[in-house]
Amino acid sequence: MRLGINTFLFTSPFTNESTSLFPRFKKWGFATVEIPVEDPSHINPAHVKAELDKHGLVCGSVCACMGPDRDLRGTPEQQKTGLDYMLKLIDQMVVLECPSLIGPVYSAVGRADAVPEKEQKQQWKTVVKNLKTLCKYAEKKGKQVCLEPLNRFETDFINTCDQGLKMLRDVGSRALRLHLDTFHMNIEEKNQGKAIRKAGKTLGHFHACGSDRGTPGNDHIDWKPIVAALKGIGYQGDVVIESFTTDVKVIARAAAIWRRMEPTRDEIATKGIRFLKKALA
């Protein structure tokens, strides 16, 4: 398991200039970088790849940023915008030599509605159709798409491992995997270890976050069964710290971060990686 860091902890949007963060990440001991590409025009993937190589890092994952206009269960326009955006991300991943597109690839973050069952079923069919198109392209390019269940306050669509697995079955693509996050699971799963074991070989990506979205290990989550489950299923993917602070205002508002979780954001990264190295040893 490689340890990674999501750049949202330090900047938004990630641009070519944001590669100045890479020496710090390397110094702290991270092996991979998770890059949220808010708009494909923000980066030259060849430049980012060269900077990663220069500092002995790899882009382990590109995070899909699903705003209101990017919604695979939305209006026809929102579906097209969301699908076109993620197809472009996969093209950039080829240049970055990045294996995984991750995140809530099915819907706009923050869309949480109580819809009639009939409408929900239709939305599900629409997402299945769009994900089949996305995953067919990912297969062609040799990439995987890792679908992330979010908590109930950020989506009403896929909240649990079980729901994610159902979507994987319905799409039926070898390119579609599951992406689990300890913050979201802390809210939605009865038992995080059992959810990880249920995901099994379909688990393609993993976020390690504190229960308050701060430092992993400096929280109330019981990490021992989580680590045991990851080892039990033979997980070999990335374990990424995806935490947020009030320093990055746009992300703080989007993620409802209203107070400082830790003294500094550097501490989230440095203390978090020390904890995870010890826990995963």
Q: So which residues are the catalytic ones? A: 148, 242
CA torsion sign, 212 to 214 to 220 to 222?
Answer: positive
Cβ burial of 126 (10 Å; 0-12, 13-18, 19+) is middle
Contact 28, 273 (CB under 8 A): yes
Q: To the nearest 10°, the Cα dihedral for 258, 264, 269, 273?
A: -110
Smallest CA-to-CA distance from 74 within 46, 36, 99, 109 is with: 109
Alpha-carbon span 258 to 174, nearest angstrom: 39
Q: Which residues contact 88 (CB under 8 A, 6 or more apart)?
A: 40
3-state helix, strand, coil in the chain (%, to 5): 50, 15, 35
Alpha-carbon span 52 to 247, nearest angstrom: 24
The answer to whether the peptide bond before residue 13 is cis (omega within 30 degrees of 0) is yes
